[in-house]
Amino acid sequence: MSVDKDIMTATAAPAVASGTAQHPGSAGLQLKGITKVLGGRTIVDDLDLTVHRGELVCLLGPSGCGKTTTLRMIAGFLTPDAGSVQIDDQDVTRLRPEKRPTAMVFQNYALWPHMSVFDNVAFGLKLRKLPKAEIVERVQEMLELVNLTHHIRSRPARISGGEQQRVALARALVQRPAVLLLDEPLSNLDAKLRVRVREDIREIQQRLAITTVVVTHDQDEALSISDRVAVMNGGRIEQYSSPIDLYRRPSTKFVGSFVGAMNAFPGTVRHTDGTLVAVLEGRVEVPVDPGDSAPGTSSSTGSEVGVRPEDVTVAENGAGAPGTVSRVIPRGHFTEMVVVLSESGSDQPLTVRAYLDNGDPLSVLQDGAQVRVRFRSVLLYADEVLT
Ligand SMILES: Nc1ncnc2c1ncn2[C@@H]1O[C@H](COP(=O)(O)OP(=O)(O)OP(=O)(O)O)[C@@H](O)[C@H]1O
């Protein structure tokens, strides 16, 4: 798939240190041009990825984009048709899974139901015929780390889903792998537990400083635990950045829409009398409030304008593109509003969001209110056919 990555930001995005700054050491994991064809289709397509030692990276993307296939090639359950996998500078591309310094936590945990928590965690160490005393010591150490010593004799069916998840994590970590792999580790948990367990995973990962790759289709999960996120689409990585960079500076329309909400219109930006203006659909002119404008926006040739809902401001008076409020939706800590721009040739509405800590100006507006619309920041894509 060809993706035009040419994008400019019309107002400043915060300068954010990427994960690389936190992990200046050498690569813990390197994928070089890995490709996998399954059932006659290219599922992973010439993919490069470097994960620094001790870094947690999420592979994020929609269903079917090749995340799990990539993870399975790292673990050795699948062999790439082309390219290489390196762990701590050692080429492991042709090694069998059990010969690789990796450990995987599966989506369904894959615990042995007839074995105790202790035996589940000890299983791999027994296979490796380690001395009994060492096995006991290592298993206890891991169960302490995941806070499960009180369940050491329990069977998996007797403990909660979150606890089963921690047993699976302990079973992987007890192997002391160089790279920890987690495939949708939270998908079997309810929403509240998911937040707690993902924080536990992050804390343990940081405490052990273990190189980790997590597969998820949940952007919230990816943004909250990762040093860097690789957004995948059609077997390729479209962007690989820190969570904040990914949100503030999405490099393609696909990434902008997949990570967070985005209003996208055909259009461009231009400077008129020293003011930056977004021109949507060739006719609606929306002023962009001066920030630290990125260089180059005055001579842009982009054809798609993206605006985050929180970067739209509306007021009953003043300058701005005229619009009509068609819906006000209270959403707890923020209010969402749908606005139809009066001069728009299409019926595409604009979603606006105001947070309570900004004084929530939207909550005083009613359906049908006439408003003036301005933008605080826009993203300009050079190619509208990105996905
Ligand atoms: N053995 C196989 N033979 C043929 N096609 C396969 C095989 N394994 C996976 N695929 C296809 O490869 C594509 C990518 O699968 P993969 O599991 O890597 O996606 P994913 O991004 O992890 O998606 P999900 O989030 O749904 O698990 C899917 O369309 C899947 O049907």
Distance (angstroms) between ligand 1 centre and the Cα of 31 equals: 19
Beta bridge partners of 129: none
Q: How far is the CA of 50 from the centre of ligand 1 (A)?
A: 22
pLDDT of residue 209: 94
> What are 317-338's pLDDT values in tens digits?
888 999 999 999 888 888 899 9
pLDDT of residue 358: 60
Ligand 1 neighbours (beta carbon < 6 A):
38-39, 43, 61, 63-69, 217
- Protein residue whose Cα sits closest to atom 1 of ligand 1: 38
Identify the residue whose C-alpha is closest to ligand 1 atom 6: 38
* pLDDT score of 3: 30
The predicted structure's pLDDT at residue 192 = 82
Confidence at residue 382, expressed as pLDDT on a 0 to 100 scale: 67
ipTM of the complex: 0.96
* Residue identifier of the C-alpha nearest atom 19 of ligand 1: 64
Residues 6+ apart with CB under 8 A from 288: 10, 11, 269, 275, 276, 277, 278, 374, 375, 376, 377, 378
Count Cβ atoms within 10 A of the Cβ of residue 369 and give its class: 0-12 exposed, 13-18 middle, 19 or more buried.
middle
Q: Note if the pTM is more than 0.80.
A: yes
Q: What integer pLDDT is reported at residue 350 of this predicted model?
A: 93
Give the pLDDT score at 10. 35
- Separation of CA 261 and ligand 1 centre (Å): 26
Here the tokens at position 214 are: 């997590």
Torsion of CA 364, 368, 370, 373, to 10 degrees: 80
Q: Which regions of the chain are under pLDDT 70?
A: 1-25, 290-302, 356-363, 382-387
